[in-house]
Amino acid sequence: MRKTIFSGVQPSGQITLGNYLGALKNWTKLLDEYNCIFAVMDLHSITVRQDPKELRERSLKLLAQYIACGLDPEKCTHFIQSHVPAHAQLSWVLGCYTYMGELNRMTQFKEKSQRHADNINAGLYTYPVLMAADILLYNADLVPVGHDQKQHLEIARDIAERFNSLYGDTFTVPDPFIGKVGARIMDLQDPTKKMSKSEPAGSISLLEDENTILKKIKKAVTDSLGYVKYEEGRHGINNLLSIYCSVTGKSVDMAEKEFEGKGYGDFKKAVAEVVIDELRPVQQKYNQLIENQDYLMKIIEDGAFKANEIAQKTLKDVYEKVGFIV
């Protein structure tokens, strides 16, 4: 039996080079080994206000970006979260097995309620319960998560274990999936922070045009040492080296040798070139896909069908166990 990997991304903006190199690109290598489910988490995204028209567009754009990055729909399941009602249904049940004390500890909730102080809604608070439902519905064995989602995966595990100990084996307790070397790509302007779509100057989006990529990399913060070598504390240079190595597959040693005696100008140009070459086919594929809405709609229709089948089974089991008439 193949193990199941589940992951989701919110349709809340652009995928960055950091997401691509740190996550998506690595996920494509899992398709033959695992049963992969990658979903567009639109229910999660309305915890902060969204423009309805934009949200709809971004959901399809995200799907097109998934596929353009190599997450072949022939080999994995893609669906839109709101197309599978069991997410909301299981979320309600699990919410009754989650303590407020647990939710109060979530650092992302604390951080988001500061950022959206005018809209601290209940959805923002119960978001980790919905995320637990996402994962547990599919009996996912593994969930690739970044650092910011670790706590949410922890709570999903706790909820699963609690439910299992009350009602007998029901859910698979999911483990975090730690990729081999999912590069952690940092902000180009502040390389001590993770690259994030909310900082356009320091981040490169998957769909960025060549000139902008070149400009942004040229402007990337470095230091005054003047040589290209991976060294403790040289955040800017280290980050550019990680980008270069992660795109080309070269080792840091090889890259350092390649740029021996060269200045930052040459180095940055080389980094920009490999990034542009890497993203070009992805962008071409994306442009084709986004023109072909019928195809995209077909993918999510098929995906929702498959996802509903699995999710319904889990939900039925849960409903029976808690005492609903099914």
Binding site for ligand TRP (CB under 6 A): 6-8, 10, 41, 44, 131, 134-135, 143, 145, 149
Do the Cβ atoms of 235 and 192 come closer than 8 Å? yes
Nearer of residues 102 and 210 to ligand TRP, judged by Cβ:
102
| Closest CB 7 distance from ligand TRP, rounded Å | 5
Instruction: Identify the active-site residue in 25, 61, 112, 268.
Output: 112
| Closest CB 148 distance from ligand TRP, rounded Å | 7
Nearer of residues 41 and 86 to ligand TRP, judged by Cβ:
41
Nearer of residues 206 and 275 to ligand TRP, judged by Cβ:
206
Q: Please say if 197 is a catalytic residue.
A: yes
Instruction: Identify the active-site residue in 53, 61, 193, 194.
Output: 194
| Closest CB 112 distance from ligand TRP, rounded Å | 10
How would DSSP label each residue in 26-89? HHGGGTTTSEEEEEE-HHHHTTS---HHHHHHHHHHHHHHHHHTT--TTTEEEEEGGG-THHHH
Instruction: Identify the active-site residue in 3, 75, 197, 262.
Output: 197
Nearer of residues 39 and 271 to ligand TRP, judged by Cβ:
39
Radius of gyration (C-alpha) of the chain in whole angstroms: 21
Instruction: Output the CA angle 279-233-23, nearest 5 degrees.
Output: 30
Residue closest to ligand TRP when measured from CB atoms: 8
| Closest CB 178 distance from ligand TRP, rounded Å | 14
Q: Please say if 194 is a catalytic residue.
A: yes
From residue 212, alpha-carbon distances to 21, 203, 217, 219, 221 in Å are: 18, 11, 8, 10, 16
Burial 154-167 (b: 16+ CB within 10 A, else e): bbbbbbbebbeeeb
Q: d(Cα 211, Cα 214) in Å, to the nearest integer?
A: 5
Q: Which residues are catalytic?
A: 112, 194, 197
